[in-house]
Structure 1
Amino acid sequence: MKPTQFLEFGSFRSGHRLQWWNLLALFEMDSLPIAEESVTMLIMHSILQYGPRTMDGSSIYNSWCSEAHEQLFEDHFIDELVTRLDRRLDDCELNWQNELVLVIVTIITMRILTICNSTRQNKIVDLAIKCRRIGEKWIDLISKNIQTISSSAFNEIEILRLKLVIVGISCILTFSTNSDRIHYLLSSNEHIVSLLKSATTIHDNIILNKNQSNMSTFVRNIMRYSERILVMIQPTIAKFLQETSYQSFNDFAAIYWAVIRSKGTMNGEWKKRKQDSYDGWYDCLYESRIISIDCIRGTFLVDGMTIGFLPEKITKNELFVRVFDDHIFEVQLAESPKTYI
């Protein structure tokens, strides 16, 4: 960091009542590089920490809100902050290299949505959907970029896979609001398909990335945070799926598995595996195959076997290890049981 940035970093948390004002100034003056992990962590800590309560009961705001976040009840302040967040999204939309910018803008947006007045919730929902749309666009762009790189360029591919994981997490973060407002972001087949795309992107690229050591503690922490979000919204997902006859799962399976994609559509009969409302597993009998989806871990199985890469019982086989060592093959499950192409 430059000396001026170091001073800005040190003074950002100059008092709990000033944190949101400091954040507004940061975006207005562009005084800190929010694409860096240290700055992202600083902002996350400041906006997610609860902070002290007003002890004398003199606050004009809701009694449950601490002094640190009272600015989020001021509509004019929200308007100013949302304008700057929206502008930052526009600036970075065409540059998928700045995945941490998308993460922090998404986290700020969802924090605002959780607290703000109902008079501003529609504006914040639109911003959250914009974050999600950009994340989905970046996942497609990075995935296409990986396909153009030589398979021998391991380091470059691993960097891109880590970016896919982080962008997938940012998409999951767009579902992190309270139960009173989650229906604005999780109420259509498109929303469910988006969630499944993000969860499977995270799951698959963690497995395909051979070097797990390049994942920082920060990324591991936000990954755990995203898993918690997915657990908390499972009752909402289960209710919606029942009401729509699981059409979202049929749509997603037709996108994810090449065998169904070649046929165009799928009309399977899905069932929730357990009665536990927070369990994410669902199963479906499709022709003679059993398809399973875990909405929390992002796992997609056909007859208990993975899609996109070989299952562990093959890769851990002594003969496979002797011939291929730890090489990871990207594959698709074929129509015949237990065969890959």
Structure 2
Amino acid sequence: MQFVEFGSFRSGHRLQWWNLLTILEMDSLPIHEESVAILIMHALLQLGPNEMDQHPSDYSWCSESHQQLLEDHFVDEFILRLNHRLDDCELNWHNELVLVLVTIITMRIYTICKETQEDRVKELILKCRKVGEKWIDLISEGIQSLISSDLKEVNTLREKMVIIAIACLLTFSTHPERMHCILSSDAHMISLLRAVATRHNNLTLNKHQANSIYLVKTLLHWSEHILVTIQPSIAALLKRNSYGSLNQFSVIYWAYISNRTHFDGKWKKRKTDLYDGWYDGQFESTKISIDCLKGTFLVNGVTVGF
């Protein structure tokens, strides 16, 4: 039965979203498996075909493959089922690909759906992000409890943290017109910084590189693309909020100042290039630098945090 479901999933570009809805409802394919995740991702990211209509509508930009997402009742059904999926896996961080796939589906819906559904899908996005952050905290605690000699298990957990951090970064993957809803506050910015730092640190520490897996390699490239494209939004948000989120993140990340209730790093963007991610601050005589693109945190030019 699964073979039939897998083989027929992409049979007709107008049917793919309906097939996906059926999979989520019937649990007919194991979405935690890499092959299934890749199959679904290919369908979600399909570009065409474009509608050949002599009378173009306001939504003529949307290809035939994704026009179901312009129907509110169809989006309602997806929100319901995706919420159930998140609830089912919230306490189980072992199936990290489920979170990745639910996040990708949610972001695709958010990017295409009508404004009438924007707020509801936004709530689901923030829920995906919250679950990912919770899993990262749980795995971090698990790593600390392991003996240092159990490197294989530690590396396995670090690989999971990389994938979960990517899932968190995917919650920022939409077009600029809707970015203001999901990257609009210091809390959102801190979530972004935590995710990019987690990805960077665990890739650096993992002896068995996670990007040896095809899907993970693809997701890594995708997350890098997302981070590049949202740098102008990051710069605007940081400037608007007087770099408050960089102060808060520094207190969270750098143990030396973690007991401070107030910290002002006097941050400045290093370059005028909107797509450069470096920001430099000062703590007493110490220079602090954060790269919002790569996730690097430097104190006097030396990496800290792991």
Pairwise same-fold verdict (TM > 0.5): yes
**Local SS of the residue matching 1:180:** helix
**In the TM superposition, what is the alpha-carbon distance from 1:266 to its structure 2 partner?**
1.4
**In the TM superposition, what is the alpha-carbon distance from 1:58 to its structure 2 partner?**
5.4
1:16 to 13, 17, 26: 13
Q: Within 2, Cα distance between the matches of 1:308 and 1:190? A: 20
Question: Counterpart in 1 of 2:197?
Answer: 200
Q: TM-score normalised to the size of structure 2? A: 0.98
Question: Counterpart in 2 of 1:139?
Answer: 136
Q: TM-score normalised to the size of structure 1? A: 0.88
Q: Within 1, Cα distance between the matches of 2:305 and 2:87? A: 33
Which amino acid in structure 2 is aligned with residue 126 of structure 1?
E
Could you tell me whether the CA contact under 8 Å between 1:34 and 1:40 is conserved in 2?
Answer: yes
The number of aligned residues is: 306
**In the TM superposition, what is the alpha-carbon distance from 1:59 to its structure 2 partner?**
6.5
Kindly tell me: are residues 41 and 254 of structure 1, through their superposed partners in 2, closer, same or farther at Cα, counting changes over 3 Å? same
2:260 matched to 1:248? no
User: Could you list the per-position Cα deviations for residues 20-70 of structure 1 after superposition, in whole angstroms to 9, with x for gaps in the alignment?
Assistant: 000000101100000001111111110111121122335666111110000
2:115 to 102, 114, 118: 118
CA RMSD for the aligned pairs? 1.2
Q: Within 1, Cα distance between the matches of 2:294 and 2:36? A: 28
Could you tell me whether the CA contact under 8 Å between 2:211 and 2:217 is conserved in 1?
Answer: no
Question: Counterpart in 2 of 1:210?
Answer: 207
**In the TM superposition, what is the alpha-carbon distance from 1:7 to its structure 2 partner?**
1.4
Could you tell me whether the CA contact under 8 Å between 2:297 and 2:305 is conserved in 1?
Answer: no
2:45 matched to 1:51? no
**Local SS of the residue matching 1:16:** coil
Q: Within 2, Cα distance between the matches of 1:237 and 1:47? A: 26
User: Could you list the per-position Cα deviations for residues 64-92 of structure 1 after superposition, in whole angstroms to 9, with x for gaps in the alignment?
Assistant: 11100000001110001110000000000
Question: Counterpart in 2 of 1:6?
Answer: 3
Q: Within 2, Cα distance between the matches of 1:215 and 1:93? A: 27
Question: Counterpart in 2 of 1:84?
Answer: 81
Q: Within 1, Cα distance between the matches of 2:263 and 2:241? A: 15
Could you tell me whether the CA contact under 8 Å between 2:155 and 2:206 is conserved in 1?
Answer: yes
Q: Within 2, Cα distance between the matches of 1:14 and 1:250? A: 51
Kindly tell me: are residues 171 and 213 of structure 1, through their superposed partners in 2, closer, same or farther at Cα, counting changes over 3 Å? closer
Which amino acid in structure 2 is aligned with residue 201 of structure 1?
T
Structure 1's unaligned 5+ residue stretches are 310-341
Kindly tell me: are residues 195 and 289 of structure 1, through their superposed partners in 2, closer, same or farther at Cα, counting changes over 3 Å? same
Percent identity reads 59
Question: Counterpart in 2 of 1:312?
Answer: none
2:265 matched to 1:271? no
Larger radius of gyration: 1
2:148 matched to 1:162? no
**Local SS of the residue matching 1:181:** helix
Deviates more, 1:41-50 or 1:255-264: 255-264
**Local SS of the residue matching 2:259:** helix
Which amino acid in structure 2 is aligned with residue 234 of structure 1?
Q
Q: Within 2, Cα distance between the matches of 1:122 and 1:100? A: 25
1:283-322 correspondence runs (5 A): 283-309=280-306
